[in-house]
Homo-oligomer: A and B are copies of this chain.
Amino acid sequence: QAICGKVKREKMKYVFLVFFMNLLPQYAGKSLRRDDSYPKTFEDIKNEIAGYTDIAKAIIDLAVHGKAQNRSYERLAVFADTIGPRLSGSKNLDAAIKYMFSALQEDGLENVHLEPVKVPHWERGEEFAMMLEPRNHSIAILGLGSSVATPPEGITAEVIVVASFDELHKRAQEAKGKIVVYNEPFINYGETVRYRSQGAVEAAKVGAVASLIRSIASFSIYSPHTGWQNYQPDVPQIPTACISVEDAEMMSRMSFRGTKIVVHLKMGAKTYPDSPSFNTVAEIVGSKYPEQIVLVSGHLDSWDVGQGAMDDGGGAFISWEALSLIKDLGLRPKRTLRLVLWTAEEQGGIGAEQYYQLHKVN
């Protein structure tokens, strides 16, 4: 259920667009509300938009040439450099939420508050993998979020390399007691990511003892990806990690030549009880329809590797910037602009899901 970063950003762009278009419908002549009570036509809307030309220009000028030039980047750099990675359940994420709560207040935004959410608390621990046959080779791995650990002594097993779930199912007899290596081709993130989210479950169903998944990426250098993965009830939980594209390809070539491959895998991940956390909220209250909400958002949590500057520091901070720009220009929109900085997105959009359940009535 991990939300794809790209899809998420696409959604956010859409929200952003809607924001600047002041909640306009997308189709000419169609009405905005489902009950058809909204009388505006596309022509009305075009005219309304045209009325905002000067305001739009002022916002753009402030962001591109004015005192807000590079502001969002600088804010993000200080935040990411100071806090670092912000995994769900970690002290760093707590620090990030506190930091943003203060920063949004200092920025003069309204109704700055925190909404409690219980979030998963998984820690990577020590992890490594070593190819023992046909030769010693250190395999770079990154355990997947929610993965169980290996036993303390690790797992040493022969490898079976497959290119797809179909191949795994056809060769199910061979997989028992082995480590399944998925060398699925990279088509695109949305399509290929199912090997990461379901790889362990499918491998466990045919009796494998662990699964190693080619990173969902076009290349790796020496940096496998991580991400969330999902166990299923009644299917044994086996350790699972991503490996580099290059190592997956190499094991695939070796396997194709009939070479026996043996890998030693050790992972020390732990899952703790869910932790208290928060969605972080700030607003500019609307002058005419304050109960109507234009929502802009990003998520404060990140993975524990890297700094989460791109995913999703950038998304969070341009969302904040949208409100800052409006405030700096002394504008008061008709509808309430609400910034929400989600928690625990990487674990499957936990913060956003709770927000939806709490607020769906309005």
Q: How many interface residues does A have (CB within 8 Å)? A: 19
The proximity string for A residues 272-306 relative to B, scoring 1 for CB distances below 8 Å and 0 otherwise, is 00000000000000000000000000000000011
Closest B residue to A309 by beta carbon equals B246
By the criterion CB–CB under 8 Å, are B77 and A253 in contact?
yes
- Is there a chain B Cβ closer than 8 Å to A50's Cβ? no
- Is there a chain B Cβ closer than 8 Å to A135's Cβ? yes
The proximity string for A residues 143-155 relative to B, scoring 1 for CB distances below 8 Å and 0 otherwise, is 0000000000000
Residue numbers in B under 8 Å from A305 (CB-CB) = 222
Contacting residue for A257 out of B78, B223, B253, CB 8 A: B78
With the chains together, A254 CA to B80 CA distance in Å?
A: 11
Given contacts A81-B253, A82-B134, A250-B307, 6 further A-B contacts (CB under 8 A): A81-B250, A84-B135, A84-B137, A222-B222, A222-B306, A223-B223
* A interface with B by C-beta (< 8 Å): 77-78, 81-84, 134-135, 137, 221-223, 250, 253-254, 257, 305-307
Could you name 18 residue pairs across A and B whose Cβ atoms are closer than 8 Å? A77-B253, A78-B257, A81-B250, A81-B253, A81-B254, A82-B134, A82-B135, A83-B135, A84-B135, A84-B137, A221-B221, A221-B223, A222-B222, A222-B223, A222-B305, A222-B306, A223-B223, A250-B307
